[in-house]
Amino acid sequence: MPNFVLIGTAYRQCYDFGWNNRLPECEVVKCGDPPKIDNGKITSLPSGELYVFREIVTYTCDRNFNFVGDSQLVCNEDGKYNGTVPECKDLNCPTPIIEHADRIEGGPPPYKLKYFVVYKCRDGYEMKGERKLVCEANGWSSDFPTCVKVHSSTTPTPTKPALPPALP
């Protein structure tokens, strides 16, 4: 069976003094102690002293830290944990600096994972790029937008000077 391991020898021989070797037993596969992580802890408990086949190790991050990777590992049939050990990181995105724009949604810095901001260009400027930015594990969801001055396509009509009143 894939979730059990044989303890002892797989065979025994009968001698004039009796059977050699001890009686083999099958035990469930165990994974040993799960890896510890910085800025976080394990919040699940194993059913026994160690995690066994198919049991899940669940991690949580300390306050102000966020997961990079999955928050769980599973004990596999080979006695090892699947996947990559999660990390808890202090994820902050830099404060966007966008000339001629104002933040119209979202809070002030610091910008943590999943925080967002929305910008609007001031009068006389047009936005190029995404107006909404979301703080993700690798930084902002897109490049910062820019506000470009809008050039008027109409030229003002020159005013003619008023003619002096006609003389009688």
- Which overall architecture, per CATH, does domain 92-149 show? Ribbon (2.10)
pLDDT computed for residue 1 by the predictor: 43
Query: Domain coordinates of the chain in residue numbers?
Result: 25-90, 92-149
pLDDT computed for residue 2 by the predictor: 53
Do the first three CATH levels of 25-90 and 92-149 match, i.e. the same topology?
A: yes
Both structure tokens of 2: 């894939």
pTM of the model: 0.56
Closest residue by Cα to residue 130 from 148, 139, 142, 138: 142
How much is the CA Rg of the chain, to the nearest whole Å? 35
- The alpha carbon of 157 is separated from its chain's Cα centroid by a whole number of angstroms, namely 57
pLDDT computed for residue 125 by the predictor: 97
What span, in angstroms and rounded, lies between the C-alpha atoms of 33 and 91? 28
pLDDT computed for residue 155 by the predictor: 53
Enter the DSSP assignment of 45.
-
Would you identify the CATH topology of the domain 25-90? Complement Module; domain 1 (2.10.70)
Report mean pLDDT in 10-residue bins for the chain, 168 residues.
Answer: 59 79 76 93 89 92 86 91 90 93 94 93 96 92 96 61 63
What span, in angstroms and rounded, lies between the C-alpha atoms of 139 and 122? 25
